């Protein structure tokens, strides 16, 4: 059993996993851009690798769940983990808590980010809200590094799918603080881990659902009408115009600089949801700026496998952990 229950103890993989600390990102009355309303966070269960995992929508109160390693194993390294879900929800277990547990078992502190999802009814400036939450997570971990026995110069960010887009955006847009930062704490992650990431918002490459959810805009009734045509839903979504300046702003391959953090990228060649060209373009941009990058590409595996690709004899986390420990 892999599912984490944060308010109790449970038996998992033959040992007891203790309750994890959950930290709100903001005081309830100070969540930036929040619009009050009758909203309710909902978690749906779906089967994955023989267990039920959660997909959370309508995040109202963003938070961090802390997984600290045993003191005897602690490396001082930390990773903030952004689950994917097309910016419509969060696959918090197999793309979040499972990864955090794996890291903590190897001496690396894991912090699972439950960030808000872009929704114009729930917030102003919907396209910047996920990045606000990612920056706040980096700020919290760095400012509390001593309490958690973390080296403040070894704090990375990881993400899968749209969570990979958020992680890569945090790694390319750290120069501008979107949150209150009176201590001028560095919001730059020290490294990035990107698992089948959405990188580009260009028409020919992007995952159109992620792009529309983050930077698109349309009357709800018109959107519902388009999506009702299920056979052509993806084509209709791709045809919705999106401002060119926002496409450029949120396409990671166009925002790499000579100071972009080192990156570990994993992807499957046969991914037909998020094209591997997203990762290849980002790798090329990093190399053009002489930035360290390591790749772990599968021939098969499709999209959404989390840590465990059933088509492969070797999974990416082992190589990634070795890479992290070299930071």
Q: What is the pLDDT of residues 213-259, one digit of tens each?
A: 999 988 777 777 777 777 777 788 888 889 999 999 999 999 999 99
> For 35-91, what is each residue's pLDDT tens digit?
999 999 999 999 998 899 999 999 999 999 999 999 999 999 999 999 999 999 999
Q: Residue 6 has what pLDDT?
A: 32
Do 109 and 64 contact (CB within 8 A), yes or no? no
Give the DSSP letter of residue 97: I
> Alpha-carbon dihedral of residues 12, 16, 19, 20, nearest 10 degrees?
-70
pTM recorded for the entire structure:
0.92
CB atoms within 10 A of CB 58: 15
Q: Residue 12 has what pLDDT?
A: 37
Place 152 in a pLDDT band, splitting at 50, 70 and 90.
very high
> Which domains are assigned to the chain?
17-325 (3.40.50.1820)
% of the chain beyond a pLDDT of 70: 94
Q: Residue 18 has what pLDDT?
A: 42
Distance CA 293, CA 299 (A): 19
Calculate Rg over the CA atoms of the chain: 19
Q: Residue 8 has what pLDDT?
A: 31
Nearest to 259 by CA among 294, 295, 286: 286
Mean pLDDT of 270-291: 98
Angle between helices 129-143 and 162-172 (to 10 degrees): 70
Do 245 and 236 contact (CB within 8 A), yes or no? no
């Amino acid at each position: 059993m892999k599912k984490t229950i944060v308010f109790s103890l449970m038996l998992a993989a033959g040992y007891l996993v203790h309750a994890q600390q959950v930290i709100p990102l903001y005081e309830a009355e100070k969540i930036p851009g929040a619009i009050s309303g009758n909203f309710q966070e909902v978690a749906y269960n779906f089967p994955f690798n023989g267990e039920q995992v959660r997909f959370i929508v309508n995040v109202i109160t963003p938070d961090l769940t802390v997984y600290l390693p045993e003191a005897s194993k602690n490396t001082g390294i930390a990773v903030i983990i952004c689950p994917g879900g097309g910016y419509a929800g969060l696959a918090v277990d197999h793309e979040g808590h499972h990864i955090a547990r794996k890291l903590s078992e190897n001496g690396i502190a894991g912090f699972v980010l439950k960030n808000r999802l872009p929704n114009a009814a729930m917030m102003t400036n919907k396209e910047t809200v996920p990045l606000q939450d990612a920056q706040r997570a980096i700020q919290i971990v760095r400012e509390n590094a001593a309490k958690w026995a973390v080296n403040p110069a070894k704090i990375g960010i990881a993400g899968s799918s749209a969570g990979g887009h958020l992680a890569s955006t945090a790694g390319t847009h750290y120069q501008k603080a979107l949150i209150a930062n009176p201590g001028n704490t560095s919001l730059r992650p020290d490294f990035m881990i990107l698992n089948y990431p959405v990188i580009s918002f260009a028409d020919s490459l992007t995952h159109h659902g992620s792009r529309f959810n983050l930077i698109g805009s349309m009357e709800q009734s018109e959107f519902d009408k388009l999506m009702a045509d299920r056979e052509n839903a993806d084509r209709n979504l791709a045809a919705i115009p999106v401002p060119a300046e926002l496409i450029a702003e949120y396409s990671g391959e166009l925002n790499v600089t000579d100071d972009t953090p080192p990156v570990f990228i994993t992807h499957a060649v046969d991914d037909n949801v998020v094209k591997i060209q997203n990762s290849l373009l980002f790798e090329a941009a990093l190399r053009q700026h002489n930035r360290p990058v390591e790749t772990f590409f599968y021939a098969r595996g499709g999209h959404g496998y989390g840590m465990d690709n059933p088509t492969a004899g070797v999974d990416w986390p082992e190589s990634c952990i070795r890479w992290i420990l070299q930071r």
